[in-house]
Chain A
Amino acid sequence: MKKTPPVLAWTLPVVSGVLFVALWYAVRSWSGLQSWILPTPGEIVEAAWREHDRLLRAAGNTMVGALAGFVLAGALGFATAMLLGVSRAFRAGLYPWLLVLQMTPVIVLTPIIVLWAGPGLPGIITVTWLISFFPIVANMTQGLLSTDMNHVALFRMANASRLQEMLLLRVPSAMPYYLAGLRIAATLAPIGAIFGEYMVGNSAGGSGGLGFLVYSYNTQIKIPALFATALTSCLLGFIFVAAVSLLNWAVLHKWHDSYERDDH
Chain B
Amino acid sequence: MPLMGVTESIVQFDAVRKRYGEGPLVLDGINLTVAPGDFISLIGPSGCGKSTVLKLVAGLNPTTEGRLAVLGTTPKGARGRQAFIFQDATLLPWLTSAGNTELPLRLRGAATATRRAKASEMLTLVGLDKVAGYYPRQLSGGMKMRVSIARALTLEPQLLLLDEPFGALDEMTRNRLNEELLTIRERSRFTAMFVTHSVSEAVFLSNRILVMTAYPGRFHAEVRVEFPYPRHADLRERADFQAKVNEVSRLLHEVEGPRK
Tell me whether B137 and A151 are in contact (CB under 8 A). Answer: no
A160, CB-defined interface residue at 8 Å: yes
B173, CB-defined interface residue at 8 Å: no
The smallest beta-carbon distance between B72 and chain A, in angstroms, is 17
CA–CA, A153 to B90, complex, Å?
Answer: 10
Contact A172/B94 with A157-B83, A159-B79, A257-B137 known, Cβ cut-off 8 Å: yes
Q: Which of A150, A160, A256, A260 contacts B90 (CB 8 A)?
A: A150
Residue of A nearest to B95 (CB): A255
Tell me whether B80 and A151 are in contact (CB under 8 A). Answer: no
8 Å CB interface, A227-264 against B: 254-257, 260, 264
Which residues in A have their C-beta under 8 angstroms from that of B83?
157
8 Å CB interface, B89-141 against A: 90, 92-95, 103-104, 106-108, 135-138
Contact A260/B137 with A150-B86, A157-B60, A159-B80 known, Cβ cut-off 8 Å: yes
B222, CB-defined interface residue at 8 Å: no
Tell me whether B103 and A158 are in contact (CB under 8 A). Answer: yes
Tell me whether A264 and B138 are in contact (CB under 8 A). Answer: yes
CA–CA, A260 to B137, complex, Å?
Answer: 8
Contact A154/B84 with A159-B107, A164-B107 known, Cβ cut-off 8 Å: yes
CA–CA, A173 to B137, complex, Å?
Answer: 15
A95, CB-defined interface residue at 8 Å: no
CA–CA, A141 to B92, complex, Å?
Answer: 19
CA–CA, A168 to B92, complex, Å?
Answer: 10
B58, CB-defined interface residue at 8 Å: yes
Residue of B nearest to A264 (CB): B138
Which residues in B have their C-beta under 8 angstroms from that of A264?
138
B88, CB-defined interface residue at 8 Å: yes
Q: Which of B88, B107, B155 contacts A150 (CB 8 A)?
A: B88
A57, CB-defined interface residue at 8 Å: no
Q: Please give the number of chain A residues whose Cβ is less than 8 angstroms from any Cβ of chain B in the complex.
A: 23
Q: Is the interface of A mostly helix, strand, loop or mixed?
A: helix
A148, CB-defined interface residue at 8 Å: yes
Which residues in B have their C-beta under 8 angstroms from that of A155?
107
The smallest beta-carbon distance between B152 and chain A, in angstroms, is 9
CA–CA, A155 to B108, complex, Å?
Answer: 11
CA–CA, A158 to B85, complex, Å?
Answer: 12
A64, CB-defined interface residue at 8 Å: no
Given contacts A157-B58, A175-B94, A257-B137, 16 further A-B contacts (CB under 8 A): A153-B84, A154-B90, A157-B60, A157-B79, A158-B79, A158-B80, A158-B155, A159-B108, A160-B107, A164-B107, A172-B92, A173-B92, A173-B94, A255-B95, A255-B137, A256-B93
Report which B residues bind A (CB closer than 8 A): 58-60, 79-80, 82-84, 86, 88, 90, 92-95, 103-104, 106-108, 135-138, 155
Report which A residues bind B (CB closer than 8 A): 148, 150-151, 153-160, 164, 168-169, 172-173, 175, 254-257, 260, 264
What are the 5 closest A-B residue pairs judged by CB atoms, nearest first? A150-B90, A255-B135, A160-B107, A255-B94, A158-B107
Can you list 29 residue pairs at the A/B interface with Cβ under 8 Å? A150-B86, A150-B90, A151-B90, A153-B58, A153-B60, A153-B86, A154-B90, A155-B107, A156-B59, A156-B60, A157-B58, A157-B59, A157-B60, A157-B84, A158-B79, A158-B80, A158-B107, A159-B107, A169-B92, A172-B94, A173-B94, A254-B94, A254-B135, A255-B93, A255-B94, A255-B137, A256-B94, A257-B93, A264-B138
